[in-house]
Amino acid sequence: MTTYRAVGLVMRRELLERGLSKSYALSWLFLALLVGAGVAIPGFFGDDGSVRTYRVATVGAASVGPGELARSTAPGEPGSYRIDLTASPDSGAAGAAVADGSVDAALVEGDRVLVGKDTPRELESALQQAVLSYQVQDMLATGEVSERAVAIMAGEGVTVVTAEPEADADAAAEARQFVIAQVALVLLFMAVMTTGSWVLLGVTEEKTNRVSEVLLSSLRPWQLLAGKIIGVGLLGLLQFGSIAASLIVAVRLVLDVTLPEVDAGFLGISLIWFVLGYLVYAAGYAAVGAIAHRPEDAQNAAFPLTLVTVAGYVIGIVYVSGNPDTVWSTVLTLVPLTAPFVLPVRAVSDAVAPWEQAAAFLLMIGFIVLLVRVAGRVYAGGVFNYRTRIKARQAYRSAEF
């Protein structure tokens, strides 16, 4: 059969057998409960019954009325909030105060609300409602009810402006991208450790119960290895993707937190290197599983590879994140084992040149192809040894095709 069909059949087998297994379902349930607990627990213990105080600056006489209305309608009860007003000489001073956190928001000339990146949503909504309500009350008091009422009822009587200088906005955006890069490294590390162990134990179990003998009678070793890696990778991607999507929805709806915007280019780079990093380490774990003689010894045999994984993660999150422009960071970008942990971090600060990205990508693809071939040969040489653990070099030399 063709290579694509052979790899596809093995991949389908992994998806059906492992995707419907009890251990996969339990691990999915455990992660879901862990994420749910992380979202729910702050809701139970985060409110200590205190009254939050929000500071609001007013600019101009027209802002005093809406400010007083917002202050008087604030709940002020335990677990809620109250509003303190302070006068500001002009909109520039009010905007600077909001941007540096001196005040939480500002009312300008009675029809504008200045907010910052940390302004609570409940305060922003309360100020908008106060401005619109005051405009309606003023219109009714003067008897000038006209088509302006329709605009007010539609919310067009108030404008919300983000009080954040352009330079600060750029710095804040870079800071958000940096945090996202750190999260990507953590997810890659978790994916490699989790799905890598699935590949490791799966290969060792098939070796022990001799299922691999049947499969290798009609498939080349590297085809079996590639199908296994892709199948397990898709299961891991499905699990992590669904958990991440649930977490985003929970944070957005339950905790009412506005998630930061993500640059599409950076997100694409992170996803590409996430996949490439998984492929490299999964191939290594599969080769290690083939030379271990029983599942109990598989984790010990994989310790050197686990050490390399941890080292790559630590280098990326500790050293490269603080030194993206050094010669060592450039060298580590071109090393396939460390590139998945290094390049996304350097991409945030624009420290990686296009030629570095292209060179790292080509080196990574070549290394993955070579590694799958070599790991497949080690797999073929070690999978038929059931008595003792053999060395990778011995397994490679004893393989027959």
pLDDT tens digit string along 242-301? 776 766 666 666 555 555 555 667 777 878 888 888 888 888 887 777 776 666 677 777
For residue 60, CA distances in Å to 57, 107, 251, 335 come to: 10, 9, 37, 60
Residue 308 pLDDT > 80, yes or no?
A: yes
State the pLDDT confidence band at 399, using cuts at 50, 70 and 90.
low
Whether the predicted model's global pTM rises above the 0.85 cut: no
User: Residues 163-188: what's their mean pLDDT?
Assistant: 62
Mean pLDDT is lowest, of 51-60, 208-217, 336-345, for 208-217
Measured between alpha carbons, how far is 10 from 4 in angstroms, rounded to an integer? 10
In tens, the pLDDT along 7-44 reads: 788 788 878 877 777 777 777 777 667 666 655 555 55
**According to the per-residue pLDDT averaged within each range, which of 134-143, 169-178, 324-333 is highest?**
324-333
The pLDDT assigned to 167 comes to 44
Contact in structure between 320 and 346 (CB atoms under 8 Å): yes
Model pLDDT, residue 401: 46
366: which 2 tokens? 């070549």
Q: At what angle do helices 22-45 and 221-253 cross, to 10 degrees?
A: 20
213 has pLDDT over 80: no
Q: How far apart are the first and last CA of the chain?
A: 16
Q: Express as a percent the part of the chain with pLDDT over 70.
A: 70
User: Are residues 278 and 220 in contact, defined by beta-carbon separation less than 8 angstroms?
Assistant: no
Domains of the chain are: 3-40+170-398 (no CATH), 52-164 (3.40.190)
Looking at residue 363, its pLDDT comes to: 93
Question: What does the pLDDT average to over 207-233?
Answer: 74
Residues 242-259 pLDDT 10s:
776 766 666 666 555 555
Average pLDDT score over the chain: 76
